[in-house]
Amino acid sequence: MSTRPWIVDDDLWALIEPLLPAWPEQPPGPRPLPDRLCLQGILYVLFNDIAWQLLPLELGFGSGQTCWRRLDRWQQAGVFDRLHRLLLAKLNAAGELDWTRACVDDSHVRAKNRGAATGPSPVDRRKTGCKHHLIWDGRGTPLHVITTAANVNDITQALALVDGIPPVAGRHGHPRRRPEAVLGDKACDSRAVRHELRRRRILPVISRKCSPNIKGLGRLRSVVEQTFALLHQFKRLAVRWERRPELHDASVSPVCSLICWRLLTKQVG
């Protein structure tokens, strides 16, 4: 990944700009800061894990408050959901999505300011935190992410992750949204989950509790750490500061889209 991942190149901006909500022809007050600069300011804050009010004005990205309001406006307009779907379609058209398997897992994140969708973390001495539940394809492309409290059982989100995969175009025929198999560790071991996956014509490859792990499962799920490392390279996502979960999700969405872009342009090894 670039040493300055907050810089939005021309090709990526050409995809983003048509998705942004238009401003009124003659908005009241001063002329709004260009959207591209605001987006770069948002990514700068997320990558460097600084408070919004500490965004350096000399960078030309505007104030942190301006960037935060623009991010909230775009999230409410569904900009990053549409961008994510567009990039997945491009990856699918290029044959870069591996539909033979999808992996589900989660990562614990400490929540400094508590708030909704937080709870005592069972892996962090019961400190208040949340979880990023993620499903990605066999090559590490993020397909869908859900944020919950840290004490939410992984089983409860397995089917929601699968059903949350957006319809992905890019090939002839109907858009695709179902992998051939779903891989999971023992935290997802559930007869009901297996039944529902099979009902969706998906092969469950999930280790059973009190039994040895499925042979070769660790190698197939080797993209787990890589994908979470790419997500949490934007350090502000490794610690949740926002009290409202929708504001935290607004920070996660553009990073998932940026990871897809890096994979599409071969900027991630």
DSSP the chain: --S-TT---HHHHHHHGGGSPPPPSS-SSSPPPPHHHHHHHHHHHHHHT--GGG--GGGSS--HHHHHHHHHHHHHTTHHHHHHHHHHHHHHHTT---TT-EEEEEEEEEETT--TT-EE-TTTTT-EEEEEEEEEETT--EEEEEEEETTS-THHHHHHHHHTSPPB-SSSSSPB---SEEEE-GGG--HHHHHHHHHTT-EEEEPPTTSPPPTTHHHHTTHHHHHHHHHHTSGGGSEE--SSHHHHHHHHHHHHHHHHHHHHTT---
Give the total residue count for the chain. Answer: 269
d(CA 109, CA 87): 26
What's residue 266's pLDDT? 83
61 neighbors 40 (Cβ within 8 angstroms): yes
Position 193 confidence tier, pLDDT thresholds 50, 70, 90: very high
d(CA 68, CA 59): 16
Tell me the per-residue pLDDT of 92-144, one tens digit each, with 9 for 90 and over.
Answer: 999 999 999 999 999 999 998 888 899 999 988 899 999 999 999 988 899 99
- Average pLDDT rounded to a whole number, residues 227-238: 90
Position 212 confidence tier, pLDDT thresholds 50, 70, 90: low
Say what the pTM is.
0.91
Position 31 confidence tier, pLDDT thresholds 50, 70, 90: confident
Position 32 confidence tier, pLDDT thresholds 50, 70, 90: confident
Q: Does residue 210 have a pLDDT over 90?
A: no
Position 13 confidence tier, pLDDT thresholds 50, 70, 90: very high
The 10 Å CB-count burial string (b at 16+, else e) for 170-179 is beeeeebbeb
What's residue 23's pLDDT? 82
Q: Does residue 220 have a pLDDT over 80?
A: no
Percent of the chain past pLDDT 90, that is, above it, reads 67
117 neighbors 245 (Cβ within 8 angstroms): yes
- Topology (CATH) of 99-244: Nucleotidyltransferase; domain 5 (3.30.420)
d(CA 232, CA 46): 10
What's residue 215's pLDDT? 61
What residue ranges do the domains of the chain occupy? 99-244
What's residue 218's pLDDT? 65
Q: Does residue 21 have a pLDDT over 90?
A: yes
What's residue 81's pLDDT? 94
Own/partner long-range contacts of 216-223 (Cβ < 8 Å, ≥24 apart): 217/183, 217/185, 220/101, 220/103, 220/138, 220/183, 221/103, 221/105, 221/183, 221/185, 223/103, 223/136, 223/138, 223/139, 223/140
Q: Does residue 256 have a pLDDT over 70?
A: yes
- Average pLDDT rounded to a whole number, residues 234-255: 91
Note the Cα 225 to chain centre separation in Å.
14
- Average pLDDT rounded to a whole number, residues 161-175: 93
